[in-house]
Amino acid sequence: MPPIATHHPTVPASRRPPAPGGGGVPGAESRLVRALGRAAPALVGYLMVRLFGLLVLARWAHVQGRGVWPTLATTWDSDWYLGIADHGYQRELGTALDSNNLAFFPLYPALVKAAAAVTPGTRASVALVIAVVASLVAAWGIFSVGDRLHGQRVGTVLAVLWGAYPVAVVQWMGYTESLFTAFTAWCLYAALKGRWLWAGSLATLAGLTRPTGIAVAAAVAVAGLVAYVRTRERRALAGALLAPLGWCGYVAWVGHRVGRWDGYFAVQKLWRNQWDGGRSTLVEMREHLAYDASPMFFLVLVSVVLVVSAGLYLLCLTDRQPLALLVFTGVLMVIVLGSGGVYFPRARFLLPAFPLLLPIAVAVARARRPVALVVLGGAALSSAWLGANALLVWPGPP
């Protein structure tokens, strides 16, 4: 006699208990954990480089009888951002040189003010913590870009090289470079994956962080428009249109605040940041590298960084990097090299241009392990020494 068939009602997938051992479709949390695990070697390597740099700085400062804390948290540009967090922006354009705080973009001081309101630390300590945390987020994003383009090993080397940049000491200062690089790295990663709304949103945030946020906006706008022309994907067009809103919004607000349409550019003129097509850069570079009988070391370093960066960009073009990366680094270099403003911080201004390091990262990753360790170790040593020199010997801001 055949067995009697029995009916078992189907349980909807959404109501089924999880399978033993956590089976099933991984959620967002498990994807995040896996991504973090893949990036762990890069983050550990980055931390080791920056902690070594901090130790060298602390020892050097101790020998000089100086404190590390005020050097990192309350000097130069840090003072400007803390002043904005404390008192807000001024309302007049004025005529005094190097004194108008409207030149500094608002997102970083706004985060400092908001975080300090709900934490026990001072605004200076909060600003430093934000910079350090942002540097780790930036290193993760940089790894992710390198990993997507060339694999995990290249991504790891790329993050470590960014931590060993000649003036990487500013990554752990009360400056905006780390926050800006974090937005930039993840924006470019989103563009590489075709996540255009994320890319446009992150470009908007980058545009509220630094004046060079226009380079991020240009990268997303150009790459997004090209993608839209090819695929007619509306999200690509939306991301392209969204990208410049942060930068344009702040520039428009400054104009409204000071009562003239070109108010932001008038502020930059008071800081002597005017476009001259690169003439001032070439004059300064020639002076420090060829004609100055007793050149200052830091200015020579800045000149060398600019020359090497230009050479690396040519390699990036030869390697046919993705369009978003080429546009970002290209526009950023045009802004930094084409400005007639102060010369000494230009190496720092190029710090977010991590795609320039991709050709080096690929070469180091392909080298034998001992060679790679020597290169990365040498980069870490030089970065630690150069960073301490920039903060404790050079008389001005890095």
Give every CB contact of residue 330 below 8 A, 6+ residues apart in sequence: 313
Sorting pLDDT into bands at 50, 70 and 90, what band is 13?
very low
Question: Which tens digits make up the pLDDT trace of 221-268?
Answer: 999 999 999 999 999 999 999 999 999 999 999 999 999 999 999 999
Query: Is 283 a member of any domain?
Result: yes
Q: Are 274 and 231 in contact (CB under 8 A)?
A: no
Question: What helix, strand, coil percent values describe the chain, rounded to 5?
Answer: 70, 0, 30
Q: Are 165 and 361 in contact (CB under 8 A)?
A: no
For residue 262, what pLDDT is reported?
A: 95
Sorting pLDDT into bands at 50, 70 and 90, what band is 175?
very high
Is pLDDT at 132 greater than 50 in this prediction? yes
What mean pLDDT do residues 77-87 have? 96
For residue 83, what pLDDT is reported?
A: 97
What mean pLDDT do residues 360-386 have? 97
Query: Is 9 a member of any domain?
Result: no
Sorting pLDDT into bands at 50, 70 and 90, what band is 182?
very high
For residue 198, what pLDDT is reported?
A: 98
Number of domains in the chain: 1
Q: What is the span of the domain harbouring residue 112?
A: 40-392
Q: Are 57 and 85 in contact (CB under 8 A)?
A: no
Query: Is 355 a member of any domain?
Result: yes
Question: Which tens digits make up the pLDDT trace of 255-302?
Answer: 999 999 999 999 999 999 988 999 999 999 999 999 888 889 999 999
Question: Which tens digits make up the pLDDT trace of 62-78?
Answer: 999 998 999 999 889 99
CA 191 from chain center: how many Å?
A: 16
For residue 3, what pLDDT is reported?
A: 43
Q: If residue 259 lies in a helix (H) or strand (E), which one and from where to where? A: none
Give every CB contact of residue 214 below 8 A, 6+ residues apart in sequence: 207, 244, 247, 331, 335
Is pLDDT at 317 greater than 80 in this prediction? yes
Is pLDDT at 10 greater than 70 in this prediction? no
Query: Is 3 a member of any domain?
Result: no
Q: What whole-number distance in Å separates Cα of residue 393 and Cα of residue 385?
A: 11
Sorting pLDDT into bands at 50, 70 and 90, what band is 26?
low
Is pLDDT at 11 greater than 80 in this prediction? no
What is the token pair recorded at 296? 């200052």
Sorting pLDDT into bands at 50, 70 and 90, what band is 19?
very low
Query: Is 56 a member of any domain?
Result: yes
Is pLDDT at 201 greater than 70 in this prediction? yes
Give every CB contact of residue 105 below 8 A, 6+ residues apart in sequence: 176, 208, 209, 210, 211, 213, 250
Q: What is the DSSP string of 314-365?
A: HHHHHTT--HHHHHHHHHHHHHHHHB-S-STTHHHHTTT-GGGGHHHHHHHH
Query: Is 103 a member of any domain?
Result: yes
Mean pLDDT of the residues in the chain: 92
Query: Is 14 a member of any domain?
Result: no
Is residue 77 helix, strand or coil? helix
Q: What whole-number distance in Å separates Cα of residue 354 and Cα of residue 317?
A: 14
Cα distances (Å, whole numbers) of residue 212 to 46, 103, 350 = 24, 12, 10
199-222 CB burial, b ≥16 within 10 A, e <16:
bbbbbbbbbbbbbbbbbbbbbbbb
Q: Are 38 and 155 in contact (CB under 8 A)?
A: no
In the chain, what percentage of residues exceed pLDDT 70?
Answer: 93
In the chain, what percentage of residues exceed pLDDT 90?
Answer: 86
For residue 16, what pLDDT is reported?
A: 43
Is pLDDT at 121 greater than 90 in this prediction? no
Query: Is 11 a member of any domain?
Result: no
In terms of pLDDT, which residue wins out, 366 or 121? Answer: 366
| Tally of CB atoms within 10 A around 249 | 14
Q: What whole-number distance in Å separates Cα of residue 201 and Cα of residue 199?
A: 6
Q: What whole-number distance in Å separates Cα of residue 70 and Cα of residue 103?
A: 23
Residue identified by tokens 């695990």 is: 37
**Sign, CA torsion 381/384/36/359:** negative
